[in-house]
């Protein structure tokens, strides 16, 4: 049985796609809920930097009772008189990570929140899954409906690798691999 380059290339591609699919399926995903504030990890470059105490005459805080009500803060913050809200912020959705820093002006006592998006790595395993239904009308006058599933596995730069499956009423089923450019 002779192997040619196309078969070897296809076998390597199948193994690579299988490894990426298994990794993206079983990797742990951090859970951030919409209802509960969760602590975020520190920026890893700052974790080992020494913490120092500085004198501050006053710190301007957000009125706690109203902040607790507006933000629905957890009881561990709401009921602890030693914990105060010094600044808030809202970070726009982003596919990558965003670094957040709270800065205190020791002269005025005002705090502000600054955010910076980290650039996406060149290569990333995504593992984003979706299912749906669709309705189509063709220029030839035909109509149809389909059920589909799509699994975006990897991203290299702005090119995404996806596997999709579709079943329609003909009866016909399709599986396809896709490369798409997103901006």
Span 69-128, pLDDT tens digits: 999 998 999 999 999 999 999 999 888 889 999 999 998 999 999 999 999 999 998 889
**How many domains does the chain fold into?**
2
41 and 101 in a common domain: yes
Name every residue whose Cβ is closer than 8 Å to that of residue 87 and which is 6 or more positions away in sequence.
62, 102, 111, 112, 113
125 and 113 in a common domain: no
100 and 129 in a common domain: no
85 and 38 in a common domain: yes
Residue at a domain's end among 68, 91, 119: 119
C-alpha to C-alpha distance for 158 and 81, rounded to whole angstroms: 48
CA dihedral 54, 60, 65, 71 (to 10 degrees): -90
* Residue 120 · residue 143 · CB < 8 Å: no
Provide the phi-psi class of 109: left if phi over 0, else alpha when psi is between -120 and 50, else beta: left
C-alpha to C-alpha distance for 35 and 73, rounded to whole angstroms: 9
pLDDT of 41 reads 85
111 and 37 in a common domain: yes
pTM for the full predicted model: 0.64
71 and 108 in a common domain: yes
150 and 103 in a common domain: no
pLDDT of 31 reads 61
Residue at a domain's end among 72, 87, 119: 119
pLDDT of 134 reads 94
50 and 112 in a common domain: yes
> Structure tokens of 170?
């003909």
Span 29-48, pLDDT tens digits: 666 666 678 788 888 889 88
126 and 111 in a common domain: no
137 and 62 in a common domain: no
Instruction: Give start and end residues of each alpha helix (H) in 50-132.
Output: 64-71, 75-78
Span 149-167, pLDDT tens digits: 999 999 999 999 999 999 9
Range of the domain at 145: 5-28+121-181
112 and 140 in a common domain: no
101 and 127 in a common domain: no
């Amino acid at each position: 049985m002779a192997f040619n380059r196309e078969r070897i290339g296809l076998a390597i591609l199948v193994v690579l796609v299988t490894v990426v699919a298994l990794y993206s399926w079983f990797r742990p995903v951090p859970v951030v809920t919409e209802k509960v504030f969760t602590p975020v990890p520190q920026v890893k470059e700052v974790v080992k930097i020494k913490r120092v105490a500085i004198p501050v005459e006053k710190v301007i805080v957000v009125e706690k009772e109203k902040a607790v009500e507006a933000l629905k803060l957890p009881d561990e913050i709401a009921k602890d008189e030693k914990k105060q809200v010094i600044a808030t912020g809202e970070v726009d959705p982003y596919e990558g990570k965003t670094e957040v820093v709270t800065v205190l002006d020791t002269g005025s006592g005002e705090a502000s929140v600054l955010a910076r998006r980290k650039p996406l790595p060149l290569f990333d395993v995504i593992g984003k899954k979706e299912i749906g239904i669709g309705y189509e009308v063709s220029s030839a006058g035909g109509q149809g409906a389909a059920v589909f599933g799509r699994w975006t596995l990897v991203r290299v730069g702005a090119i995404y690798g996806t596997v999709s499956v579709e079943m329609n009423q003909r009866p016909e089923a399709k599986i396809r691999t896709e490369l798409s450019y997103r901006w």
